[in-house]
Chains A and B, each alone.
Chain A
């Protein structure tokens, strides 16, 4: 167990930092530090261009194997890459659903043809993805998806009907991975399929959801006889749940360190404000700032444990991984409250009418979703108790 990086890895760090310094400027200067949580609707076009600049430098999909167009970086190098990216103020990545979720899923479970068809578009930063999981009746109870996929023999295609919700980036994405029921008589996690669906088609309609932030990162997506090619199902019909759960494992990957560096940037901004407006002298706020620092510091090493200990691939999460979502989401929510309390009454004044929020105001509101999406805090506690502590499972009716 040691904290330091090898000389070769430190050299890699310089390489990353140098490239970012050279490229994240000029036309890309305005998007530095932008496009994070609560700000994902901003500068989409510029950030999409940035994604492609990253691809030209070979900096997309750094953790993917080289045979699929990735950089084949070691865990250490990926850690360094995400740290330097956030340190440089790299913008929120519009390609993150493709790079972090769709791609790894296709690599793990997809056919050779699917790899050939979809991976290059992700690596090049050109094609964007969104995730079609939640439905109005399938939130915490994700296995209750009602969207149906029926194979039409006449046109030799899958035909999809139903509705997805809370789909971020749907209005910009080229593809959506959709969890849908292939066996109409099935229940719960049986009888599902995992589909790769083209967004630009008459059978798909995207409607933005206006959130409490006033902005619309999330959408509803309606499937009305949307079609999907016969070979665009990942795995066999009925195996969708297995694929979907495999994908959730990727959410706890190295990219989480980039998220932490964003947290660090937010925390640094709060510290700066506290020092300038005198909040740093208030004993109660000093306690809360120090608590936030303590847990952010540990969060980094919890992620290191998670990454160092990754083994096998049987999907069984280690204890430090099981608690991770509950930990960071709860921490981030508290950070939002801390930001407002450090700002004091000034926290209530908007940047501009009608409803333009500052970065910290947007963060404060947006973090209320952190403890809901990707498994609510309550679902996380069920999972921890059942898988980590072997306590009785919730009754399934």
Chain B
């Protein structure tokens, strides 16, 4: 038992911090968010080739650095802190995780080196049901379908809220056997985004720092080898279970980003309160402000403890997958929901308090607070709000025998 960063992990965090502080300036964010792609491709190439960040947890034999989920989370925290506009979350936390969880050895060898070199990817899974009842993010929302046609699969259907869906080079697509329901019959496929029949529509989003798309599939023909998993062990391929694990891993990475954002809001707000004078002194000296700031710090530190715990569970899950042993599904679900439930609320509350303490300027377009406020709500909605994750925890705790 050891619950503190190693020297190497500290170094990764510090490197990410100093680089992102330099490149992800307010001006850079605003330039990137005004583009359709949503990021600066030259900067992304630097991140991939010079810093090799997106290869962080890909195994070395697939061209990666072979580090773990704690390192990935340390990176994500800084991305969230500096609101870095990049396809890092979609490519690494959705795309690469999908290959690591569901891909066969051959598929990993084929695609991961490309991803590590800078090709981008994302995961499309949620159908129209994701918009129902205030947002649903379980695997049962998959409503795209596939049929087998000789040596090919044919996919049809649509996906909502696909992160970086309009810009990604590769798409991981979840689709179900046409006759199946709920968690049955789901499989994952990998396709180049320019495959015939794939139609991508960029959605205008309130949070401009991360792009969402709608994707439609019209009779998309994919080769047999595009289905993730080992074809020779077809009976063991369980797309629904893989998808659930991928989503939990991504959820933990997103929570880390939220925690980083919550930290930055605290830092910005405290700094502002020390500069802003009213009634002849800095407003930082008023208890009404100090106590709000203290609550913001509490939320950041609790979020941090939750994220580090969840990262350790994610790491254990990935190691189990590599060793071919079963993933402790309940432990992973619990960790993902604990982290996402707390971090979603912490990020959003801190963003709201940051506007309040900044006063009028916090409401302006010029100051960056609104960028975080908008990212906070978008991240809260994506992959499940706090309430959605609490209900998932409640089911684990209270229904049936209870597994926690």
B224 is an interface residue with CB less than 8 A from chain A: no
Point out the residues of chain A lying under 8 angstroms from B9, CB to CB.
1
Give residues 366-404 of B contacting A (CB, 8 Å): 387, 389-391, 393-394, 397-399, 402, 404
Q: Tell me the smallest distance from the CB of A80 to a CB of chain B, in Å.
A: 9
Interface-side segment among A192-200, A222-230, A287-295: A287-295
- The one of B304, B338, B390 in contact with A286, judged by C-beta atoms closer than 8 angstroms, is B390
**B70 on the interface (CB 8 Å rule)?**
yes
CB-based nearest B residue for A281: B398
* Contact indicator A1/B298 (Cβ below 8 Å): no
How far, in whole Å, are A385 and B301 apart by their CA atoms in the complex? 13
Q: Is the CB of B4 within 8 A of A309?
A: yes
Question: What is the CA–CA distance of A290 and B5 in the complex, to the nearest angstrom?
Answer: 28
Is A297 a contact of B309 with CB atoms below 8 Å? yes
Known: A290-B397, A291-B390, A391-B285. A304 touches B402 (CB 8 A): no
Give 9 closest A-B pairs by Cβ, nearest first: A385-B290, A290-B390, A381-B294, A392-B285, A304-B3, A384-B294, A286-B394, A302-B305, A301-B309
Q: Contact check: which of A290, A301, A322, A384 meets B393 at CB < 8 Å?
A: A290
**Interchain CA distance A307-B305 in the complex, whole Å:** 12
Which residues does chain B contribute within 8 Å of A239, judged by CB atoms? none
Can you add 12 more A-B contacts, CB < 8 Å, to A280-B399, A392-B282? A3-B3, A4-B1, A287-B391, A290-B341, A290-B393, A293-B338, A298-B342, A299-B305, A301-B3, A302-B302, A385-B297, A394-B287
Given contacts A287-B390, A305-B3, A391-B273, contact A381 B341 (CB under 8 A): no
Instruction: Find B311's partner among A1, A289, A384 (CB 8 Å cutoff).
Output: A1
A360 within 8 A of B: no
From B9, B301, B304, name the one whose CB has the most chain A CB atoms within 10 angstroms: B301
Q: Is A319 an interface residue (CB 8 A)?
A: yes
Which residues of B (1-23) have their CB < 8 Å from a CB of A?
1-6, 9
Are B313 and A290 interface neighbours, CB within 8 A? Answer: no
Contact A2 B294 (CB under 8 A): no
Check B246 for interface membership: any CB of A closer than 8 A: no
Contact A323 B301 (CB under 8 A): yes
Question: Are A308 and B2 in touch, CB under 8 angstroms?
Answer: yes
**Interface flag for A171 (CB, 8 Å):** no
A1 touches B6 (CB 8 A): yes
A3 touches B1 (CB 8 A): yes
Count residues on chain A whose CB falls below 8 Å from chain B CBs: 51
A187 at the interface (CB under 8 A from B): no
Q: Which residues of B contact A2 (CB under 8 A)?
A: 1-2, 312
Q: Is the CB of A391 within 8 A of B393?
A: no
Contacts of A319 in B (CB 8 A): 297, 301
**Which A residues lie within 8 Å of B287 (CB)?**
378, 381-382, 394
B284 at the interface (CB under 8 A from A): yes
A212 at the interface (CB under 8 A from B): no
Residues in chain A near residue B304, CB distance under 8 A: 305, 320
In the assembled complex, which residues on chain B have CB atoms less than 8 Å from the CB atom of A33? none
Min CB distance A169 to B, Å, is 30
Complex CA gap A299/B70 in Å reads: 19
CA distance A283 to B306 in the complex (A): 24
Contact A289–B398 (Cβ < 8 Å) = yes
Given A3-B309, A289-B397, A381-B1 contact (CB < 8 Å): no
Question: Is B199 an interface residue, CB under 8 A from the partner?
Answer: no
Contacts of A4 in B (CB 8 A): 1
Among A236-280, those with CB < 8 Å from B are 271, 274-275, 280
**Residues A5 and B1 in contact in the complex (CB < 8 Å), given A327-B298, A381-B295:** yes
Contact of B338 among A5, A79, A298, A384 (CB under 8 A): A298
Report Cα–Cα, A79/B316, bound state, in Å: 21
A391 with B301: in contact, given A1-B5, A3-B312, A290-B397 (CB under 8 Å)?
A: no
Q: Which A residues lie within 8 Å of B101 (CB)?
A: none
| Distance to closest chain A CB from B303 (angstroms) | 8
Q: Does A113 contact B (CB under 8 A)?
A: no
Chain B nearest CB from A271 CB (Å) reads 6
Please name 27 pairs of A and B residues whose Cβ atoms are closer than 8 Å in the assembled complex, sorted by A: A9-B1, A271-B398, A280-B399, A283-B391, A287-B387, A290-B390, A291-B341, A291-B390, A297-B334, A298-B309, A301-B306, A304-B3, A308-B1, A308-B3, A309-B4, A319-B297, A320-B301, A320-B305, A322-B301, A323-B298, A381-B287, A382-B287, A384-B293, A384-B294, A385-B294, A391-B285, A394-B287
